[in-house]
Structures are given as structure tokens and as C-alpha cells.
Structure 1
């Protein structure tokens, strides 16, 4: 066993993090005891790392613990990136005080942008969630993980692309996937195993080039590509205008009679750059 105490610049609202992540039935966490068990893959092996909050919103302190001391440095590095501990929310707070969504940022102050645990599971989750209401989307992703994934210390890991690529489409349609979505999930996994899609390489690309690379793939459109950029790669200035939740949140906040047009969304969001990803997150939070 190993453990490490990490101090983070406040504000950092870990309860808000747990509240949002708790909507995903695959994730192992305890809101009362303020911890989450994170499935990590390090050098192609699965490890569970526990992240527990010890401090306050203004003075955040965390204990990180795991079982394999040899992976400690890599695990901490991954955890820091997933939970965005190296990004100070002070600048964010100051920036949005001057904008037309300052009220939303006050209400959810200290909420960080937390990433998915790895790029492949992020991509699969984005494909599965396409054009579905959130509850059924989580149900489908839970069926996918618990049918084809595996557990370590009672924590679920998404299957690897090598495990999904050989599947028959019918194995997913039996779980209530549409035929088309089953094809997208399996065919994309096959591209990864064949080396035609290198997810790790995406880290080196600009936002525009990531989108260009991903939308070449059948079943991946701009919405999915933007969500991978936001939730998988942690890019700070993404604004998926086609997202229904974003449209609803803007309609509610600005008291519009109908959903905003693309041009209206451009006007409303003009002052939000270079933190559009955080505006996206906080708008989601405002209606969740």
C-alpha cells in the first residue's frame, strides 16, 4: 500500500465533483465519506486508486492511495490530470464575474472540469450517449461495461478495444443498442486495434485537427469529437453548440421562448472565451 497527501489551490468543490460523477452508475464512490475509487490502466495493467477529500472548498487537501508502490508516481500524475488539480480556478472565477453567466458561476463556484478516466472509455461513452436522454445513456453504458468489462477490487473497468473489436453486432443489440450504434462502437474499436486510429496521438493535435481526425470515422460527428476534446483531453475552450443540454441551459438562463439559434449562442458566448469548456460545464450543472 502507498498513500500521498496532496494540497490543491482553492476553491475546489470536490462535493460538486462527486455529485456530478455519481450520475454514472459504473463509477465507485462514496459521497458521505468523500472519496472515489478511480480505475487506472498503467503500462497496460489495471489499478484502483482511491482519492479522498480531507480539506475544505477553500483549502482542498486530498489523500491518494493505491496498492502498488511501483506505480505511485504515474498514478499521481494521472490523478492530477483527471481532476485538473494544476488548473487554478481563481482566474476562472475572476473572468466570469464580468460575463452574462456570472450568476451560474457564483452558484457553482469551485466546480472543476473533471476528465474521463481514459481516452478509449471516453470515446465509447460519447458514442453510446449520442442522441439519448441521460438516464438511458447511463443504462446502456452500464450494460456495456458490466457485460464486457471487468472488476478489480469491486471497481469496474471499461473493456479494452481488443475485447470489443471481435464482438458481433448482435451482442450489443441484445443490450438494447441500436444496430447502428452497435456498429459504431465495434467498428471504431476495430480501427483502434488495427492501428488506424491512435487515440494517444490525439494529445499532440490542435482542437481543429482532433475534430478532423475523428469525424472521418463513421458514427463520430462534431458533437462526439468536441466531447472527446472536452472530457477526454481536457481542452479548455470547447463549446458544443449542438448539445441539447447546453441549448436548454441557455434558453432557461436567458429566459428565451425557444431554443437559441447558433448565431444567438455565438452572441451569448462571445465573452466566455478562452474558457468555453468551463462555461459548458457550468451550464450543464445549472440544469442537472
Structure 2
């Protein structure tokens, strides 16, 4: 199994090659997608905060909210976050639920219940379990953190609707598969599921934007 983390375009390209060798159906998909974005982001509290802020809003809205949120602090970290009043943080555009989630994450880090620097050393199942013990952090959020903040090479967030649609499309299914079926169908792409998830998101954008296909 390739254990190189997806922290560079070169590593991603190598994993896409491995993915195509493992599942030849993906060779034309990779060719059609051209460049697949790495989408690497910061780890630690800042990375988790960026994921939470961006949930269930458009890319443009997430960017605007994040800009206001980050400007409140000299350094986006748990200590500085906890030093701010709720009305100031929510004034940046965060919902009450997102504010409570980040409070729980910050408190867990402050008390030592969550040690971000240790997550990369854990098996993914344990890392996900550690994160989902925090109120407000579900499996999708935990998997997205491992995927983009830690560059884990074999994570596939099967609860993501775009990924479900693409897995159904690749497999010729009439109905969009649910999370459990999506996860099972994506098993064939292990140990390159991190690259597969990036490819499927890119493929979704290509079909939607370039070809006008309704998904």
C-alpha cells in the first residue's frame, strides 16, 4: 500500500496512475478531467475551522465568512477563538450550530482530549473515532479533515452527495447509491481512495459545467 500522503501534485499524479491501473474504467475519466486539484489545506484547529465554516454554504459564501472569521484573530487557533465573544464570532456569519461545534473542538484541544498533532499517526478508523467523539463533528467532517488537512491517501467520504452521484454514474446505476453502497463500491479503489475522491469531485464539475449534464 502506498503510504505517501497527498501533499504534492507529484504524489497525487502517481496515485492517479495507480488508480487507473487498478480500475481501467477510470483512464478516460482522468483524461477528461485534465488537472485534478490537490485541495490541500492547513491542519490543526485552523483547518478544522475552515471545514466547519464551509459546510452547507456555497464556495463564495464560505470564502467571505472565512475572511471575516479569520480577521478576528491574529492567529486562527483554539486559544484565540475561545477568547472571543459569541456575538463577535457569529457576527462573521457563523450559525449557532457551527459556533457550538467550534467551541467543542477548541475546548477539546484546550483540555488535551483532542491532540491534532497525533491524528496523523493513528489508523484512519481511530482518527475518525477520535474526531467524532466531539459534539458537532460527524463522519463526513472527520473524513474531510483527514483527506485535505492530513493528506490521507486512502479516505473516501462516502456520505458526500457529489461522490455518491459519481460512483453511481461510473457504475451505471439508475439511482444514486446511499452512503453504505457508495463506500462498498469505492473499495475497489483502495489504497488510492484519496486520489479517487479528488477525481470524482473534479469529474462531477466537468460533467456539470463543461457538458451541461444534469446530475
TM bracket (short chain): 0.7 to 0.9
CA distance in structure 2 between the aligned counterparts of 1:92 and 1:274, rounded to whole angstroms: 11
Judge which range, 214-223 or 104-113, deviates more.
Answer: 104-113
Alpha-carbon distance between aligned partners in 2 of 1:249 and 1:84, rounded to the nearest angstrom: 24
Given that residues 6 and 12 in structure 2 are in contact (C-alpha distance below 8 angstroms), is that contact kept between their aligned partners in structure 1?
A: no
Number of the residue aligned with 1:179: 96
Matches within 5 A, 1:63-82: none
User: For the residues of structure 2 that align with 1:225 and 1:125, how far apart are their CA atoms?
Assistant: 13
Structure ranking higher on relative contact order (CA contacts 8 Å, 6+ apart): 2
**TM-score normalised by length of structure 2:** 0.79
- 1:87 — aligned with what? 11
Which is higher, the Rg of structure 1 or of structure 2? 1
Aligned-partner SS, 2:114? coil
C-alpha distance in 2, partners of 1:130/1:201?
A: 25
Runs of 5+ consecutive residues of structure 1 not aligned to the other structure: 1-80, 151-157
Number of equivalent positions: 201
Correspondence 1:283 to 2:207 = no
Match of 2:142 in 1: 225
- 1:113 aligned partner: 38
* TM-score, normalised by the number of residues in structure 1: 0.61
* Contact 1:89–1:112 (Cα < 8 Å) also in 2: no
Residue 124 (structure 1) aligned with residue 49 (structure 2) = yes
On the 8 A contact 1:239/1:280 being kept in 2, the answer is: yes
Give me the whole-angstrom Cα distance separating, in 2, the residues matched to 1:257 and 1:138: 35
The question of whether the paired residues in 1 share the 8 Å contact of 2:156 and 2:197 is answered with: yes
| Structure with the largest fraction of helix | 2
Stretches of structure 2 lacking an aligned partner (at least 5 in a row): 206-215
Partner of 2:64: 139
Q: Which has the higher strand share?
A: 1
